[in-house]
Amino acid sequence: MNTFEYAPAPESRAIVDIKPSYGLFVGGEFVDGHGRSFKTISPSTEEVLSEVAEADETDVDLAVKAARRAHSRVWGRMPGKERAKYLFRIARIIQERGRELAVLESIDNGKPIKETRDVDVPIAAAHFFYYAGWADKLKYSGHGTESLGVAGQVIPWNFPLLMLSWKIAPALACGNTVVLKPAETTPLTALLFAEICQQADLPPGVVNIITGAGDTGRTLVSHPDVDKVAFTGSTEVGRAIAKSVAGSDKRVTLELGGKAANIVFDDAPLDQAVEGIVNGIFFNQGHVCCAGSRLLVQESVADEVLGRLKRRMGTLRVGDPLDKNTDVGAINSAEQLAKIRRLSQIGEQEGAERWSAPCDLPDHGFWFPPTVFTGVTQAHRIAREEIFGPVLSVLTFRTPGEAVEKANNTPYGLSAGVWTEKGSRILKVANALRAGVVWANTFNKFDPTSPFGGYKESGYGREGGRHGLEAYLR
C-alpha cells in the first residue's frame, strides 16, 4: 500500500520580532523592573527567546498605583460607550495582528500553530469584541453597573493570550483597571498585547502587565489596594490565594484544576466519540484544565473504542509547533515534563497498562508522546490527580448510574463529556454531573458568550457570557 508522507509545512517566524529583553508595562509605558530578570525559552527547541523583568514588591506596588490612578481619574469615570470603543479597537488590532500573535504564542508556549491560529487568537479577539458590547449595557446584566476598582489577575501558561483576554476584557468592560501577571514560561504574547494597548491609545494605567513567577503573583494578589483577584491555575495555588484573602474585602474568582470524565455510552457514534476523546485529552498537549483526562467507556464497547482510539492516536503528528500539520506540540516546560513522566511512572507502578503512540520525538525540547492507560481503577493516582499532559486514563462502567458515580468521584468539577445518541440520556446525565461545563457529543468548545468555571475544588466564579460580568461589578 502506498502511504503519502506529509511534507514539512512550516509557518514563517519572520512575522514576529522578539526583542532581546523586555521590561514591565506600567502606566502605559515599558519600564525597567527593580528586581532580577529571567529567561523565557522555546519549549520545542530550548532556545532562549528573550530576557524578561521579574517584578518585585516595588514594581507590583507601582503597577497597582498606576491602575488605581487610571481607575479613579479616567477609566472608572468614562462612559461605558467610550470604554466600549477602546475594547472594540483592541479586538480589531488582535484580528489585524492575528498571525503575528499566533506565531509568537506557538514559539513561546510550544503549542501547534494550527491551534494558536484557529483557536487561541480568534477566540481572544472575540472575547474583546463580546465584552466591548457589554461596556455600555451593564444595566441589562443583572449584576450591577459599578466597577470594583483595581483587579489583580494571574494567568497560566497553557493559553497565555486567551486567558489574558478572559481576564482583561470583562474587567475593562465593567470599568475596572487591571494589573495582570502572565506565567513565567509564557510572557511574550502578554507583552505584545501591551503594545496593542498602546496602538489602541488605551489610557495609561488601565492595563498593566507585570512579569514574574510565583512570588510576583503572591505579592500582587495580596496587595492591599487590589479590590478583585482573578486567578487561573492550579488548585494548590488557588487554595493559597483563598487563604491569603480571608478576612479582606477582596472579591475573588478562581479557575483551577480538573480531572474531567468523558463518558462514552454504547449507543454513541463511536468515530465521533473517538475524535472527541482525542480532542479532549490531546488538544494543547493535554495542558487544559478542562481536559477529558478520564475516559469512562461502557464495558460493552470498551474494546472497540480502545481499538479505534489507538489507531487514531497513531496518526497524531507530534513535533514542530510551527508546522501547520502538527497536532501535538511541545510540553511547555522541563518541570511540567518531569511531572508528566513521574505520574506516568506511578501509573505503571500501580498496575495500569501503558500504551504510547509510536512517534519520533525531536532531540531537543520537551516532548511526551500521546499516551493511554488502561486497566485504571478509581484508586489509582493517574485517575485522581491532574496530570496536565497528553495522558489519558481509561475506566469502564456498566450502567448510567455507575458512570455518573465514577465521574463525580473526584474533588474536581470543572467539566465533563457525554457521548450518546439519546437526547434524554444526555440531559439526565448532564444534570447529575457535578461539573461547571458539560459537553454533549462534543468537547473542548469555548465561546465568549458561554460561561466557564468549576464546581467544588475546580474553583469558583464564572468567566465568559453575561455571568462573567458578575465578578467585576457591584
Catalytic residues: 255, 289
Pick 448 or 453: Cβ nearer another protein: 448
Count of positions on this chain that bind another protein (CB under 8 A): 26
In degrees and rounded to multiples of 5, residue 284 shows phi and psi of 60, 35
In whole angstroms, how close is the CB of 292 to another protein at the nearest point?
21
Residue 225 · residue 150 · CB < 8 Å: yes
In whole angstroms, how close is the CB of 300 to another protein at the nearest point?
16
Nearby residues of 437 by Cβ (< 8 Å), 6 or more positions away: 290, 414, 415, 416, 452, 453
Q: Is 99 in the site for another protein (CB under 8 A)?
A: no
Residues counted in the chain: 474
Q: Binder to another protein among 34, 428, 434, 474 (CB under 8 A)?
A: 428
* 3-state SS assignment for residue 363: coil
Q: Is 132 in the site for another protein (CB under 8 A)?
A: yes
Q: Where are the alpha helices (DSSP H) in 290-399?
A: 299-313, 334-349, 381-384
In degrees and rounded to multiples of 5, residue 102 shows phi and psi of -65, -45
The whole-angstrom separation of Cα 424 and Cα 212 is 48
In degrees and rounded to multiples of 5, residue 38 shows phi and psi of -140, 165
Query: Which range, of 296-304, 317-325, 378-386, 424-432, touches another protein by CB under 8 A?
Result: 424-432
Q: Binder to another protein among 137, 143, 381, 384 (CB under 8 A)?
A: 137
Distances in Å between the Cα of 316 and the Cα atoms of 32, 57, 170, 369 are 43, 45, 36, 10
Q: Binder to another protein among 57, 136, 215, 385 (CB under 8 A)?
A: 136
Query: Which range, of 62-70, 124-132, 277-285, 304-312, touches another protein by CB under 8 A?
Result: 124-132
Pick 129 or 412: Cβ nearer another protein: 129
Residue 407 · residue 264 · CB < 8 Å: no
In whole angstroms, how close is the CB of 466 to another protein at the nearest point?
5
Sign of CA dihedral 226, 228, 230, 231: positive
Pick 2 or 424: Cβ nearer another protein: 424
Pick 93 or 274: Cβ nearer another protein: 93
Q: Which is nearest to 93 in space by CA: 64, 65, 133, 124? A: 124
Question: Kind of pairing, strands 37-41 and 48-53?
Answer: antiparallel
What cell does 143 get?
A: 449584576
In whole angstroms, how close is the CB of 409 to another protein at the nearest point?
19
In whole angstroms, how close is the CB of 425 to another protein at the nearest point?
5
Q: Binder to another protein among 310, 339, 341, 466 (CB under 8 A)?
A: 466
In whole angstroms, how close is the CB of 149 to another protein at the nearest point?
24
**Per-residue string for binding with another protein, 431-460, x by CB under 8 A?**
x----------------xx-----------
Q: Among residue numbers 206 through 245, which ones bind another protein (CB under 8 A)? A: none
Which amino acid belongs to residue 135?
A
Q: Is 143 in the site for another protein (CB under 8 A)?
A: no
How many Å from the N-terminal Cα to the C-terminal Cα in the chain? Answer: 66
Pick 107 or 172: Cβ nearer another protein: 172
Pick 143 or 310: Cβ nearer another protein: 143
Question: Kind of pairing, strands 415-419 and 261-264?
Answer: parallel
Q: Among residue numbers 374 through 403, which ones bind another protein (CB under 8 A)? A: 400
Nearby residues of 260 by Cβ (< 8 Å), 6 or more positions away: 280, 290, 291, 292, 293, 294, 412, 414, 415, 416, 417, 435
In whole angstroms, how close is the CB of 441 to another protein at the nearest point?
14
Query: Which range, of 66-74, 212-220, 270-278, 426-434, touches another protein by CB under 8 A?
Result: 426-434
Q: Among residue numbers 72 through 91, which ones bind another protein (CB under 8 A)? A: 81, 84-85, 88
**Exposure of 7 by Cβ count < 10 A (0-12 exposed, 13-18 middle, 19+ buried)?**
exposed
Pick 81 or 342: Cβ nearer another protein: 81
Q: Is 427 in the site for another protein (CB under 8 A)?
A: yes
In degrees and rounded to multiples of 5, residue 262 shows phi and psi of -115, 105
Q: Is 2 in the site for another protein (CB under 8 A)?
A: no
Q: Is 162 in the site for another protein (CB under 8 A)?
A: no
Pick 221 or 429: Cβ nearer another protein: 429
Q: Which is nearest to 230 in space by CA: 161, 166, 289, 135? A: 166
Q: Binder to another protein among 31, 56, 57, 133 (CB under 8 A)?
A: 133
Pick 128 or 367: Cβ nearer another protein: 128
Q: Which is nearest to 216 in space by CA: 58, 65, 71, 334? A: 58
Q: Is 34 in the site for another protein (CB under 8 A)?
A: no
The whole-angstrom separation of Cα 22 and Cα 187 is 10
In the complex, the residues that contact another protein under the rule CB under 8 A are: 81, 84-85, 88, 126, 129-130, 132-137, 140, 400, 423-425, 427-429, 431, 448-449, 465-466
